[in-house]
Structure formats: C-alpha cells, structure tokens
Structure 1
Amino acid sequence: MAINSPSAKAVVPNVISSENIESFNSLQNTLSSAIKVVSPLVGALLLSVFNNFNVFILINSLSFLISAILISTVPYNNIKQDSNKQNFVKRLVSGLKYVINKRKILGILIFISFLNFIMISYDLALPYIINVILNKSEDFYSLTISLEAIGGIIGGIVLTYVSKRRKDSNFVSDIKYLCMILLIAGIFKNIYFIFGCALINGYFLVQINAKVFTIIQKETSQEYLGRVFSILFIFSSLLVSPSNIIFGKLVPVLSWNIFIFCSFSIFVMSYIVNKNFIKDN
C-alpha cells in the first residue's frame, strides 16, 4: 500500500482529462466511503457462511488479481521519461527541492500532513468518549463510524456533480465548516451531536481530500507528480506514531475538549497556510 497509494494518485492525470480530475477524485472517495459501510457486512456474511480464514485470504488474493486485470485495460497516456536515471535518494531530494520552490503545493502538503496528524486525536477520542465517558455500547461507536462513512458518500456524490462549477481552492471554506462542527460537538457534549459531527465530518473530509489532491495533480509537473505524492505519504506516515502517542495521553485529559482543540488547531493552521502559501498563488 505504501507503494500503491502514491502511484495511484500520480497516474490519474495520465488517464483522466484535466477537467474531469476532481470528479474522478470525488467518485473514488465516494466508493471508498461506501466500501467502509459495506465491507463489514460482507465480512460478517462470509464469516457466517465459511468460518474459515483461508477463504478470506483467497478472496483477498482474487480481488488483487481482478484489480490487476482491470488496470491493464485502462488506456494510459505515457509521457517521455527523462533519459538521466537517478537513484532513489537523488529523486527524493529533487522532489523536495521541487516542492519547496512551488509554494502552493508546499502549503497544501504541510496542511494535509498537519490535518492527518490532528484528526488522529478525533479518531482516538470517539471510542473513549462514547464507551468510557458516556458509557455507551460498542453499537453506538459502530453507528458513529457508519454515519461518518455515509457522510463521505454524500459528500463525494455532491462534489461529483458540482465540481466543474466550483474552484478547487474553495476547500478552505470546507475547512471552516469542519472546524465549526467539531467546535459544536465539543461544546454541547451529547451523543447526538457526536452523530451529527461524524456525518458532517465525513462529508467535508471527503470534499477536502478530493479538492487538495486535485490541486496537486493539476499544479504539479508530470515528471515530479510521483515524487510529490511520495513525499506527502512519507511525512503523513511519519506523523502517525507520534500523533498516537501524544493524543493517546491527551484524550483522557482533555476529554470533550479534544474536539475544541481539533477545531482551533485546524482553523489556525488553515489560516496560516492559506495566507502564506495559497492565497497569492
């Protein structure tokens, strides 16, 4: 997956026309959200029928095989490769230099990495607040996750139909709405506000992801696109462990206030990035 994710994002401009990239990203995120809802149901059904782990491995293997066959049928607009071969380190360094010189892309990479870092606190807070503080059953947490996935499906469908009529840069407005709903959940401290937060959170996160990936795919030179996405996934992955450690300690201390913390942190970072990296580019 570490190799597949950057490659899958980088190849999009070579198979999708520029005006349809955001619609494609929206559809992709919609399907991903739908799979989050459907896959546990399918898994439970298969487990009840077969009750054999080897069957799951076989089905998983077949899914990769089918994916490979489908990908091989996609028409690909291959670009001429640079004749000067570089090793991994040199290519990574050249990618970093390219990102540093492209302020808009640099700002987006910083923001996405920070957003992923902060939202881990949200992911850790949900089960703690629902199961420990509110003393609700696991069914409530499962419902919350399902609502977030449903919100993602709705957000992806909406963006698919309106993407051609809106600017990519309006993801900043989506961030404001995301911050607002997180703030409301932290203030009112109610399970129903958590449900609403999860639904709207899923809606806007899918839209934000689709829009920022579209900007990167449109603004980045084809030669550097794979390296830019690799850098994004590297830094996002590096932040996962420290984020889990830090927020694993903070969530029990801050409790409901973790939502308020998320809201203000994301808002401040988005303001800094928009003002210094995106607004004038």
Structure 2
Amino acid sequence: MAVPDNGPVIVSISWWLCFLCGGFLALRVYAKLSRSQSLWWDDYTLITSWTLLLIQSVITQIGQRLGFGKHTVDIAPCNLATIALYTSIGASISCFASTGSKISFGVTLLRLFKGPSKWFVWFSIVTLFMAMLPSALLTWIICTPPEKAWNPSVEGKCWDPVIATDYGIFNAAWCAVIDFALALLPWTLLWGLQMRMTEKIGVGVAMSLGVLSGVCAIIKGVYVVQLREQDFFYNGKDVTIWTSVETATAITGASIPVLRVFFKEKRSTHVTQDRRNDESVPQAQVKRPRSISMSQV
C-alpha cells in the first residue's frame, strides 16, 4: 500500500512558482537595462526576495527528501528533528521573501508620489517590515532553549503554540490590507492625468496587481491554522504552498508594469519604423501615443 505523501506536490509547485516569477523578474531587469536605465532599490529588493524564494524552494526540496509531506508516523524518527529545523528555517526565510516583494512595490511608489500619499507609502513599508519580524523570529524565541522548538525531546519550556498561530493570522491580514491599499493608490495619481481612458485603465490595472497578492495573503491566513495540527508535516501542505504563491504573485505583479511599458515602447517603435519604410514619413511627424511616464517604475 502506497504511503500518503504530499511532498512531491509541494516541491513541484514551489519550483514552478519560483521559475515562473523568476522569468518575469528577469524580463523586468532586461527591460530596464535594455533601455539604459539603472536598477534601483525596488529592483534590488525584488531580486533579493526572489533569491530568498529560491533558497526556500531548495530547503523545501531537502525537507521533502527527508520525509516532509508524509504523515509523521511514516517518517524515519531520526529525520523528524531535522525536518522540523529545515521547516523553521524555511518559514523564517519565507517571511522575508514575501514581505520584501511587497516592500519593493512600495519603494517604486515612493518615486511617483509626494506629500501625504508618500508618507502613507512609507507607513506601509515600515509597518509591513515591523509586522513581519515577529513572525520570522517567533520560531527561534518561542522555546527555551530554542532547540526545543524543533526537537521535542529536549528539556525546556515553550510558549502556548496559539500565540504563533494567532500572530501569523494577524500578519497575513495586515499584509492583505497593505496590499489592497498600495494597489489602489496609483489610481489616485492616474485620475488626475491627461490621458485617454483606455490608457488610464491599462496602466491602473497593471499597477494594481498587488490585489492578487493580498488575496493570496488572506488564503494563507486561513491555512495558518494548520500550524496547530499535530501532523503538520503532512497537513501543512496548503500553508506551505500558499506562502510561495503569495511571494511569487507579488514578484510577478511588481514586474508587469515595467514590462507593459517596455512592450508598448517596442510596439510603438516597430509601428514607427513600418510607417517610415512604407510611407516615408519623417520621424518628426510621427506621433507617439501619450502615456504616463513610467521610466521611474
């Protein structure tokens, strides 16, 4: 009889998400460098987040080879503490990866806004980071000595596990609120610009994809309760997967606005060249479509 194992599903989805959002990030970087634009702090933050997601995927793969994804009774006893340690490390890394991907978009918005809106973006960035830190560190401080958190056989004391679970739910909820707020903020800027309505909607939708990351944060928050379950190595599939989905969605969503401008410029350039070749239209007479200046994105 086959042993129930969620490990292959967890690992395959984790790697697929890592490479998918990595592709969007690579295109984002290429789009900027090909236009002779320097990378800025939002780009470096996003690259760091993806690197952490890659490390998280490697750790998940190692844990799966040791038995992560199976019922606890089906895992070799000598591997239980090691899997728990890797799971703790991966959870801490995922916190920084997810939050960093959201902060990256906030850093982008800092270049577009002034006044109260800019201060709100700063508030969002700071509170995202401050709310994330306890989630990333709880595993390492919840027990005395810390080793007891991943090795129950060690003598010591631990806080009530409900504390970590409840805070995880709060952190996910706060991330969702900030995602929604930052996703809607660009519309306040776009509505005052002299642009065609279709162009406003196109730019607005491209810059509002953080909403999807917020939805993922809510779903992850629902599954955080799996941390309370005794057989987490098997039952923790959903919270593990949705943690990666949240980060990958944020990285992809932050890359799409840059790619939209890049492909729009490429298309405009090809149209201009075709007109010059077919109609001999002087470059000075060719009107380029008006768009929001996204060179700062």
Bin the TM-score by the shorter chain: under 0.3
Bigger proportion of residues as helix: 1
Higher relative CO (CA 8 A, sep ≥ 6), structure 1 or 2? 1
Please report the TM-score for the alignment, with normalisation by the length of structure 1: 0.25
